[in-house]
């Protein structure tokens, strides 16, 4: 069993900064935000803290253009996301058909204890209206 991580000031600073952001953010952007606020926290520490928060379920993470992005997780339950490509607006969704499909595909191929991540990227209503002028 893995020992719980210590709650250091750096970890709390990252958690607090992440909670104060809208949508997903990169470790570099979060680090810059912390530095702009006067923090002396290092970039490597921000990366470690974000990875730990994601592992523990306190942050959502996704890969976009080869970069890990993070946001504070607002629910403990398994969920998926709708994410606007333009503004980053994120909506947490449940997707029962996806859950059934994932388990069926795993079982049909002899896999057990399967897990998955589903993020759907598109354009939110506000960005669509701005683009189309409606």
Instruction: Give the annotated binding-site residues for Fe cation.
Output: 78, 99, 116
Structure tokens at 56: 């523990």
> CA 33 → CA 21, 37, 54, 58, 127, distances in Å?
10, 6, 19, 19, 25
Alpha helix positions (H), 20-65: 27-36, 43-55
Contact 69, 25 (CB under 8 A): yes
Instruction: Give the annotated binding-site residues for Zn(2+).
Output: 84, 87, 124, 127
HSE-up (13 A, CA, CB side) for residue 60: 28
Instruction: Give the annotated binding-site residues.
Output: 78, 84, 87, 99, 116, 124, 127
Query: What Rg value do the Cα atoms of the chain yield, rounded?
Result: 17
Q: Which residues pair with 70 in a beta bridge?
A: 25, 61
């Amino acid at each position: 069993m893995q020992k719980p991580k210590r709650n250091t000031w750096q970890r709390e600073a990252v958690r607090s900064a992440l909670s104060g952001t809208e949508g997903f953010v990169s470790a570099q952007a979060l680090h810059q935000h912390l530095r702009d606020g006067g923090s002396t926290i290092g970039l490597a520490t921000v990366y470690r803290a974000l990875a730990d928060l994601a592992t523990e379920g306190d942050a959502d993470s996704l890969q976009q253009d080869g970069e890990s992005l993070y946001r504070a997780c607002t629910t403990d339950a398994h969920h998926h996301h709708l994410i606007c490509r333009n503004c980053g607006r994120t909506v947490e969704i449940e997707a029962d058909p996806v859950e059934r499909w994932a388990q069926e595909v795993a079982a049909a191929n002899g896999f057990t204890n399967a897990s998955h991540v589903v993020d759907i990227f598109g354009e939110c209503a506000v960005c669509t209206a701005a683009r189309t002028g409606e």
